[in-house]
Structure 1
Amino acid sequence: MDLKSAFANVLKSQVLSSWTEEDLLSLIETPKHVHLGDLAFPCFKLAKEYRKAPGAIAEELAGKLASPLFSKVEAAGPYVNVHFDSAAAGKEIVDSILQHDEQYGKHSFGSGKTVVLDMSSPNIAKPFSMGHLRSTVIGNGIANLAEACGYETVKINYIGDWGTQFGKLIVAFKKWGDEEKVKENPIAELFTLYKKFHEEAALHPSLEEEGRKAFKLLEDGDEEITRLWKWFKTESLEAFKTIYSLLGVEFDSYNGEAFFNDKMDEVVELLEEKQLLETSQGAKVVRMEDESLPPCLIKKTDGATLYATRDLAASLYRHREYSFDEALYVVGQEQTVHFKQVKEVLQKLGYEWARNMKHIPFGLYLKDGKKMSTRKGRVILLEEVLQEAISMAHDNIKKKNPDLKDADQVARDVGVGAVLFHDLKNDRLNDIEFSLEHMLTFEGETGPYLQYTHARAQSILRKAGVSHHSTFVGLEDKASWEVIKQLRLFPETVERAWKNYAPSILAKYLLELAKSFNSYYGNTKILNDDSKQASRLTLVYSVASVLSKGLGMLGIGAPKEM
């Protein structure tokens, strides 16, 4: 049951018949303080119609509203505040949760629609750093939210496998590389060579030209250069997949930049047909003064194509391949202008579907206040962070629960969950200062805190011999009512998190649910053999169910024991 809808229905049927339910719902608020009630209706917009002060209107309306679901209706200044009867309203809410059970929190409004997500997209031959974590886990969280709302999703890992940097890497390998070392530890060794190239190029600028020439040979299909490039790519993808496996993230496509090499001529031809290409200082561009954007560079003076050309080709391919209803680019906010340009060019070409392409920006992980950079060696390796988190979780298990079954899996769930939740609880547009200490703190507003709350609920159910929900007759205490109010927010939270492309909305909700449940647990003897025990256990079951579902949508495991 939706409390807002129940309140809106009473307002409409008893005092505001000329208003639509939608308009009423848009005004209903949740008071900041619990003692003020569960919901409030502001009367400011009625002042003109009633020709009275909002406070006087609130007094009048409060005296007319009545429902079996309400325990008290009162005026508080210009607001009509409603207190719901915790037993009656609570029973309807919990019954609704039990009725939907596995489907609770899910929606069907996305049914029959497809969302394509461009996410993660690390560069081959470079280590998977903390800098790549955000696109990966935010993208995965958004995909899970989309699926919870009924959409089909296509997750694309648009691997960075093309560009001048590979010419530089090939030069570095030929000058200083050791094939056996690369085979033993491919990513680390290739990264070392990449850094050495830039160190040497600072002293010997001619190396930059050698790198460009090597990449030109790659573009022209030179056999030896191509063999090395394919080898670097294969080794990199294998290393990346180890990390994706740890994160629990899967992809539907690994088509990277190189995949679109033979698809860019069509973009140039389309732009020429529409007479959108202009020459500027020898380069081919699409002017965008009318959109207050810099020109979109399509071909450099030497005829080489660029990121925009490739992204235009990728967009055309993806729409033909997947007929998407939305295409989301989960890429850092520094690329905002680029995606505006790509979208505008497609619209200039007459593709109306380009309106449904959206850049989902996010802030950076910073190290000592500075952006991480593989070129400068200022990088923190994600795999090392994950393994350290898992190791810390193992240590905690050995101290607190040495006989725990599936200890390895639980340590993995908890360690990885700590890293993921540390990211996802933050608004995606905010920068995050990297701190291993904060990330791996297992207390406070963390992933392990949520997982422990879930495990605690499961432990109570095991002790009671309950594996599924029972009946719910209603509970009158305030602590249980606060939990029930949180539970009823789950479906609307999932919808809001999806519509804002913000997993943080769901993460923050789960923290509030866990806090209310732990408060309830601390003030209530749940396993007290009386007429209300079945209802209390059903409430515990509902909390465990919502926590498990919510963590799953964030890509985080929910162990039953810790």
Structure 2
Amino acid sequence: MATTCSVTEIENLLGKAGLDTPMPEFPGTNIVTNPQDIFRAYLADTLQKLVHCDRLVAYEAIQQSNVTGQGDLVIVSPRLRLKNINPKDLVSDLAHKLPRVPPFACPIADGIHLRVLSSPNTLSRLLLPYIHDRCASYGYDSSLGLADAAAPDGPKKKVIVEFSSPNMASEFSVSHLRSTLVGSYVANIHASMGWDVVKMNYLGDWGKQIGLLAAGWQRFGSEEEFAKQPLRHLLEVNHKIEELFKPEHDEVKAAKAEGKDASEMEARGLHAERDIFFKKMEDKDPEAIALWQQFRDATVKDYTSSYARLGVTFDEYSGESQFSAESVAEVEQALKEKGVYEEHDGSWMIDFSKHGAKGLSTAVARYRNGTTSYLLRDLAAALDRYKAHKFDKMIYVVADQEMHLHRVTKCLELMGRQDLAERIQHVVVAKINELPDQFKDATLLSDYLDGCHTVMQTSIDEDTEEPLFVDKTDKSVDLLGLSSLFIQDFTHKRTTPYAVDSKKMTSLVSESGAAIQNCYARLTSKLSEAPANFDYAALDYASLEVEDHAELLRIMAQYPDIAQASFKTLEPSLIIIYLLRLVDQVMVTLDGDDEQVWTDKDEANKARLALYENARQVFENGLRVLGVSPYSS
């Protein structure tokens, strides 16, 4: 059977559809990964011949339409840069002159825009085998991950994506939750575009706070309770010791605010106990390390289970504890050699205001008792990661860390490691402002996941009118609830704060994960009687020229453009907006076909089933890149 996996094969198919071949070429087009580039190239070639402008100008005057029913491609007339011609008059003139031959249908004049529809017959003949040939890779361009674009069989570019990164024995906050959701997407979209991805969870498992936890364990720890619920018990211990520590902490803070020397205060009580234990950790004291390792192992084990339920995996559970002494020494030596490292009252620090970064203030790198700071450990970690992975890019997906990450990159620059500083990217995620009652007492990741299950079950029990195409097993309810968590987050831009609305999140009729999964389930149920394989050369494509089917085809053709735009901006909301358009059109088309007799013996129905099978594939690709598992019965 003929395929569409090469330029030659695509041109053979286009020739059979009545188009001139070889097809016109333009810089930046990739017809093997994006079918819209085929139509763009033909339209730009025709446009250039009609108005006699530069070929590249003609190509760049064309943009994708995001309005259902308002064309596939849009010619923006001012972009043609034609002098002494009214843009609206130009559109009117082009509307009459544009040939009504494949691959285009009748254009629509719309002010300064000319909206151009692709011919449904041409589009269906090209698109269905095109998607079928690519399956899970449809929409993605693996060449974007090549270290050398001229060497398709060569090595890939590598990216480290650090996300989630909770602190040991501390609450899993909504900021950690959003970092987990967005970070999973960032890793997935890079992998889809051909990058070698290392997913890293950088645990807050080192520092003075662990010394304080150890002091709490001596007072409140229970091996029996720890064996039952390790993370919850550590959290309880931590809360209790922090309550005891608060008066001391407030006293020291007040003294420093008044300009007093607080060193004597810090040399007694819980301050001293905390610092002594942390110093033992840094000195590799066997007992201190054994207790720390017990806490860390339990933390990783518990979180791994919760992440798996969410569908998130990590390649490395790194952490502040994983830095090497060699890299710490390398950082400090470089800072000293560059004249950046300053000693003050026994501590070593960096005054960024002296080095062109006043907004970064002053930061301690090593405390007076010789222990390392968060900043010093992160700098050492950056060196360690580059030595281990030789990454091309390292992305931090975190909230509330802008100052810290600016300090990291500035320090690398001051150390003479501009090469590393330029590889670091901070993907900002805004806060979740408000949680519904079902989530307000959540302290662990598992609590949020249980809350999703509860609100989803309530929604299903209360909504008895909306047809449900998924079963009501605990597994399916869990999937719908977790899908709703992802989708509600991604309906907002990642830099936009929002409040979680449990009713909207789990509604079967709104823009929710539950509604999307319900549509996907309905679509797959229609395919239960589809043949195992379709003969794409023999399908009745003329039967797909009905407007609902044609519009569904047009939306399906747009996915590669959407995926690439999402990759460039690292904005998952673009894919959600697209999927919601796809859902709406799938539902409209299914409603129109419901009275049909579904049998693979009827040629028209075979074509419709092939359309739905490929729509299902596009649907699945969009869900998976977001980190959402499609429903399966």
| TM superposition score normalised by structure 2 | 0.79
Q: Tell me which amino acid in the other structure corresponds to 1:556.
A: V
- Is structure 2 residue 47 aligned with structure 1 residue 15? no
Match of 1:309 in 2: 376
Post-superposition offset of 1:93:
2.6
Match of 2:527 in 1: 461
In structure 1, C-alpha distance between the alignment counterparts of 2:124 and 2:503, rounded to whole Å = 40
In structure 1, C-alpha distance between the alignment counterparts of 2:243 and 2:55, rounded to whole Å = 70
The superposition leaves residues 361-418 of structure 1 with CA deviations (integer Å, 9 ceiling, x where unpaired) of 101223469xx9xxxx975433123134345667888999999889454344323222
Match of 1:140 in 2: 184
**Which of 247, 256, 266 is 2:330 aligned to?**
266
Q: Tell me which amino acid in the other structure corresponds to 2:386.
A: H
In structure 2, C-alpha distance between the alignment counterparts of 1:155 and 1:207, rounded to whole Å = 37
Residues 494, 343 of structure 1: alpha-carbon distance in 2 compared, 3 angstrom cutoff: same
- Per mean C-alpha deviation after superposition, the further-off stretch among 120-129 and 204-213 is 204-213
Asked if 2 retains the 8 angstrom alpha-carbon contact of 1:286 and 1:345, the reply is no
Match of 1:108 in 2: 142
Match of 2:548 in 1: 479
1:72 match: secondary structure: coil
Match of 2:570 in 1: 501
Q: Tell me which amino acid in the other structure corresponds to 1:11.
A: L
Q: Tell me which amino acid in the other structure corresponds to 2:587.
A: N
Match of 1:489 in 2: 558
Q: How does 1:277-292 map to 2 (within 5 A)?
A: 277-279=341-343, 283-285=348-350, 287=352, 289-292=355-358
In structure 2, C-alpha distance between the alignment counterparts of 1:405 and 1:437, rounded to whole Å = 20
Residues 319, 33 of structure 1: alpha-carbon distance in 2 compared, 3 angstrom cutoff: closer
1:117 match: secondary structure: strand
Asked if 2 retains the 8 angstrom alpha-carbon contact of 1:420 and 1:556, the reply is yes
Asked if 2 retains the 8 angstrom alpha-carbon contact of 1:494 and 1:506, the reply is yes
In structure 2, C-alpha distance between the alignment counterparts of 1:7 and 1:292, rounded to whole Å = 52
- Per mean C-alpha deviation after superposition, the further-off stretch among 282-291 and 223-232 is 282-291
Match of 1:83 in 2: 117
Q: How does 1:136-175 map to 2 (within 5 A)?
A: 136-175=180-219
Residues 145, 402 of structure 1: alpha-carbon distance in 2 compared, 3 angstrom cutoff: closer
- Is structure 2 residue 54 aligned with structure 1 residue 54? no
Asked if 2 retains the 8 angstrom alpha-carbon contact of 1:284 and 1:299, the reply is yes
Q: In angstroms, what is the RMSD of aligned CA positions?
A: 3.0
Residues 89, 180 of structure 1: alpha-carbon distance in 2 compared, 3 angstrom cutoff: closer
The superposition leaves residues 419-438 of structure 1 with CA deviations (integer Å, 9 ceiling, x where unpaired) of 22222332111223244444
In structure 1, C-alpha distance between the alignment counterparts of 2:302 and 2:575, rounded to whole Å = 31
In structure 2, C-alpha distance between the alignment counterparts of 1:35 and 1:260, rounded to whole Å = 56
Asked if 1 retains the 8 angstrom alpha-carbon contact of 2:69 and 2:551, the reply is no
The superposition leaves residues 222-273 of structure 1 with CA deviations (integer Å, 9 ceiling, x where unpaired) of 4433322221112111111110111122211112111115231221012222
2:55 match: secondary structure: coil
- Is structure 2 residue 487 aligned with structure 1 residue 429? no
Match of 2:299 in 1: 236
In structure 2, C-alpha distance between the alignment counterparts of 1:409 and 1:150, rounded to whole Å = 32
In structure 2, C-alpha distance between the alignment counterparts of 1:457 and 1:483, rounded to whole Å = 13
In structure 1, C-alpha distance between the alignment counterparts of 2:158 and 2:469, rounded to whole Å = 45
Identity level (%): 26
- Per mean C-alpha deviation after superposition, the further-off stretch among 321-330 and 335-344 is 335-344
The superposition leaves residues 282-340 of structure 1 with CA deviations (integer Å, 9 ceiling, x where unpaired) of 542153542454246252451433222112111111112111111111111x2112212
In structure 2, C-alpha distance between the alignment counterparts of 1:405 and 1:89, rounded to whole Å = 35
Match of 1:253 in 2: 316
- Is structure 2 residue 483 aligned with structure 1 residue 417? yes
- Per mean C-alpha deviation after superposition, the further-off stretch among 101-110 and 379-388 is 379-388
**Which of 98, 101, 104 is 1:65 aligned to?**
98
2:360 match: secondary structure: coil
- Is structure 2 residue 244 aligned with structure 1 residue 177? no
Q: How does 1:373-384 map to 2 (within 5 A)?
A: 379-384=442-447
1:502 match: secondary structure: coil
In structure 1, C-alpha distance between the alignment counterparts of 2:469 and 2:512, rounded to whole Å = 24
In structure 2, C-alpha distance between the alignment counterparts of 1:442 and 1:402, rounded to whole Å = 8
Post-superposition offset of 1:488:
0.7
Post-superposition offset of 1:152:
0.8
**Which of 517, 526, 532 is 1:451 aligned to?**
517
**Which of 174, 189, 209 is 2:233 aligned to?**
189
Residues 420, 52 of structure 1: alpha-carbon distance in 2 compared, 3 angstrom cutoff: closer
In structure 2, C-alpha distance between the alignment counterparts of 1:207 and 1:176, rounded to whole Å = 14
Asked if 2 retains the 8 angstrom alpha-carbon contact of 1:397 and 1:404, the reply is no
- Is structure 2 residue 250 aligned with structure 1 residue 217? no
Asked if 1 retains the 8 angstrom alpha-carbon contact of 2:508 and 2:518, the reply is no
- Is structure 2 residue 631 aligned with structure 1 residue 559? yes
Asked if 1 retains the 8 angstrom alpha-carbon contact of 2:393 and 2:424, the reply is yes
In structure 2, C-alpha distance between the alignment counterparts of 1:514 and 1:190, rounded to whole Å = 44
Residues 430, 76 of structure 1: alpha-carbon distance in 2 compared, 3 angstrom cutoff: closer
Match of 1:340 in 2: 406
In structure 1, C-alpha distance between the alignment counterparts of 2:620 and 2:163, rounded to whole Å = 25
Q: How many residues align?
A: 550
Match of 1:275 in 2: 339
Structure 1 residue runs without a partner (length 5+) = none
Structure 2 residue runs without a partner (length 5+) = 1-34, 147-155, 250-268
Asked if 2 retains the 8 angstrom alpha-carbon contact of 1:159 and 1:254, the reply is yes
Post-superposition offset of 1:487:
0.5
1:422 match: secondary structure: helix
Post-superposition offset of 1:552:
1.4
Residues 119, 143 of structure 1: alpha-carbon distance in 2 compared, 3 angstrom cutoff: same
Q: Tell me which amino acid in the other structure corresponds to 2:557.
A: R
Match of 2:5 in 1: none
Residues 173, 509 of structure 1: alpha-carbon distance in 2 compared, 3 angstrom cutoff: same
Match of 2:613 in 1: 541
Asked if 2 retains the 8 angstrom alpha-carbon contact of 1:128 and 1:240, the reply is no
| TM superposition score normalised by structure 1 | 0.89
